[in-house]
Structure 1
Amino acid sequence: MVTPAKRFQGWIDSLAVSWTDRLRGWMASWVEGGVIRLFDFLEPDLRSEIKPSLLRIREAEGLPDDFKALIDKTLEEPKAIHLVAIVPYLVGMMIGLGMGAARPVSNVGSYQIDRLLKSFRLDPAAVITAWRRDKVKYEQYFDDLKDQGWSDDRIEAFKFLTLFIPTADEQTLWLAREVYEPEMVTRYGLDSELPSYEQTDFGKVGVTPEQMTNKWRAHWEHASFMQVIEMLHRGLLSLDPTMSTPPTTEGGWAARDAEGEEALFDWYRLVEIPPFWRDRLTAMSWNVPTRVDVRRWYDMRTIDEAELYNVYHRQGYHGKDLDNYVLWTKVYVAFPDLMARWSNGWITEDDVYRELTGLGMPDARVREMIETKKKAVEGGQAEEGKALTKSEIYKGVKKGTLTRDQGVDLLMDLNYNLSTAEYLLDINVAALEGSPETYEEFKNITTKYKIAVGKEAKPMPEELKKAAEELARVTKEVEALELAIVEEERGLIPGEVLPEAATAKLDELRIILHRAESELARVKTDYLGKLAQWRHGG
């Protein structure tokens, strides 16, 4: 129950709060009014004093637009309230300008004192960098750290913390490159050609000899997949650090292939090929036979149609293309054999048709292909008999059982014209007799051939033929005399003076040779003149 005293006390408290708010508002309005009246009293003089400064501030680069608007109102309206609002900004700017003007002067003095006292100290990064580049020369600058509050223990810890250590990514790469596997390092020679630590700058950047070795092991480039596969094919791939000599026997190749595949799996680990791919890559490392090879194998039936299909699929053919390729191969292989058997009379045209359609060729195309070959097959059979007949005619003329005119007549019965029949008789009968021997005889045959095939040719005149025959005869006589003289000289004793009777025959042969050589010169001149006249004359 609230007593009268408590109710009175509550009324007094509420009255106090109410009057407090009213008094606070009255005091605030009184103070505000006083300040405004004070600035209004001072406003004309104050405005004229600060107007030049306000104008300079308004032209300052980068001044916000709302601040420019406030300055414009302050300059235009005779109200002190604008000055009240802008004066704090002016005060701040003036203080900043003052401090800015004083700073250069302060710096000059500071520089002189720093120079006198040498108060600058290197930062920790500069100290440790200089020390690593020349430990003897720059050891003294650890005192800079001590001046900054570093203890000896902390300096030693700082040296340790700034040593090089590979990042997580680098360590992953090094693991992948077998840096931490001594067996792989030895097998692949990853420490080979390692530079001397002292001759490098690794120490200057905090890299220890151990880490330099690790970096060296990780820097090597290994053979590519295609290069390793080529080594496998050539018998050069094994785990032996020295290069293997290719085998030469079937058993040797089988053993080397096994060694090569083992080395190939080791290479997968070396270059980080995931296990999922290893068996698949190994299976595809051996070449697939070429299309030409497969076609030959199938032609000889060393492989059947199923294997033909299998090899083509491994070469990349698929679906309808694969079916078409198999069909084409079967037809391509079978067609020449069928034509040969048909031309020899071993099978009939119907047999050819049934065989090709049975392979899967369209009926119409089979008939077209047979039509393109039919005349050649039938003509070939007749031509064979014709060749036998011609051979007998040539032999008859050679033996004399037939005259030349009869031989020409019989050849014309075989559907040759006169020029062709004469040409065939000349070349074949002459060949049986051991002719031709001279250029003119050959030329005569080629001229007859040109006439036989309808080409324009100038027949060789009889006088040129006779001159050529005379030249050939005299040439042989000269050669025979030269040979006889050599034989005669061989029977005499060199260097001995012989009686005239002993050398009479040799002297006679020399006289005859001299006359024959003179005759050869005359005959040759006559022949060359007739030859030139025939070649270039009208």
Structure 2
Amino acid sequence: HQGKSKEQIIEDISRGDIHPDRAQQYLDAILTKPATQDVVTYALRTDPDLQDLGEQLTKIGIHPDYLELHKELALVIPPVADIITMAVREVFTPEIAARFGQYEDFPAPLEEWGLKKGLSKEWSERYWAAHWALPSATQGFQMLHRGVIDRDDLDRLLRAQDVMPFWRDKLTQIAFRPLTRVDVRRMYKEGVLDEAGVYEAYLDHGYAEENAKRMTEFTIRQTLSSQAK
């Protein structure tokens, strides 16, 4: 039927076994129609509220009982991985997210274009709240040292960095500098550290147990030698 007008096609159909009163209906039935998902995608781009989606789906033969189903499924729920990221970024704890300003500077176009992709305003806001770059753990330790944040804030940062609960307190413990070897010797000499404290201080420096014992013995002998002079 290429090159023929619609009227000519209807006439041809009427000359066949199709009753003339049903020719238009027959033509509508045999014409290629977009896939259901294409109709939904187009509706999201042109009518994000989906007011006319039911009518458009009916035209391609979707049963009326399933129109609401397709309308509901048109709205996207993010992948599980994204939801987990949102959770560790405190997106589902609004009071914490608000304290960190995660919803600030939300751009209006994101809502508009998010709707065209099937994202509700709430999900677009959650994506925005979770998108911010975080300070590194090292920067977090430095802020803790300088009194800019407290341990609770540091714990939240490590949580947002996906550090497992088991490791957070342990990482915090090694965030503090150990006593220098010079300080260890001075403190032992002044009686601030005892032999066990000296040994622990050298372990903190990363010495193997045997070498920590040797360093402890050296410190004691050096102190006694200096005091004997």
**Which of 78, 101, 104 matches 1:189?**
101
1:79-228 alignment, distance < 5 Å: 109=1, 111-112=2-3, 119-135=31-47, 145-151=57-63, 154-197=66-109, 200-228=112-140
Question: Which protein has greater RCO, CA pairs closer than 8 Å, 6+ apart?
Answer: 2
1:231: which partner in 2?
143
Go from structure 1 to structure 2 and tell me whether the alpha carbon gap of 1:227 and 1:196 turns closer, same or farther (over 3 Å shift).
same
Taking a change above 3 Å as real, the CA distance of residues 143 and 266 of structure 1, as seen in their structure-2 partners, is: closer
**Aligned residue identity for 1:310:** E
**TM value normalised by structure 1:** 0.34
Q: Judge which range, 219-228 or 203-212, deviates more.
A: 219-228
Assess if the C-alpha contact under 8 Å between 1:299 and 1:333 holds in 2: yes
Deviation by residue 1:450-508 (Cα, 9 ceiling, x = unmatched): xxxxxxxxxxxxxxxxxxxxxxxxxxxxxxxxxxxxxxxxxxxxxxxxxxxxxxxxxxx
1:303 aligned to which of 193, 216, 219: 193
Percent sequence identity over matched residues? 29
Map 1:206-285 onto structure 2 (within 5 A): 206-237=118-149, 260-285=150-175
Q: What CA distance in whole angstroms lies between the structure 2 residues aligned with 1:199 and 1:262?
A: 33
Paired letter, 1:296: R
- SS of the residue corresponding to residue 166 of structure 2 reads helix
Distance 1:298 1:129, change over 3 A: same
Equivalent residue, structure 2, for 1:361: none
Structure 1, unaligned runs of 5 or more: 1-108, 238-259, 342-538
Judge conservation of contact 1:191–1:213 (CA < 8 Å) in 2: yes
CA contact (8 A) 1:114 1:120 kept: no
- Other-structure match for 2:220: 330
Q: How far apart, in 1, do the equivalents of 2:59 and 2:152 lie?
A: 64
Q: What are the ranges of 5 or more consecutive residues in structure 2 without an aligned counterpart?
A: 10-26
RMSD across aligned positions (CA) = 3.3
SS in structure 2 of the partner of residue 236 of structure 1: coil
Q: Deviations over 1:416-452 (max 9, x none)?
A: xxxxxxxxxxxxxxxxxxxxxxxxxxxxxxxxxxxxx
For 1:235, give the aligned amino acid.
G
123 and 315 in structure 1: CA distance in 2 versus 1, 3 angstrom threshold = same
Contact 2:53 2:71 in 1 (8 A): no
CA separation of 1:324 and 1:177: change in aligned 2, threshold 3 A? same
Structure showing greater Rg: 1
TM norm structure 2: 0.73
Number of aligned residue pairs: 207
1:224 alignment partner AA: S
Conservation of the 8 A alpha-carbon contact between 2:114 and 2:124: yes
Cα 1:199–1:231, aligned 2, differ >3 Å: closer, same or farther? same
Supply the distance in 1 between the matched residues of 2:203 and 2:106 (Cα, whole angstroms): 49
SS of residue matched to 2:70: helix
2:37 counterpart letter in structure 1 = A
Looking at secondary structure, tell me which structure has more helix per residue.
1
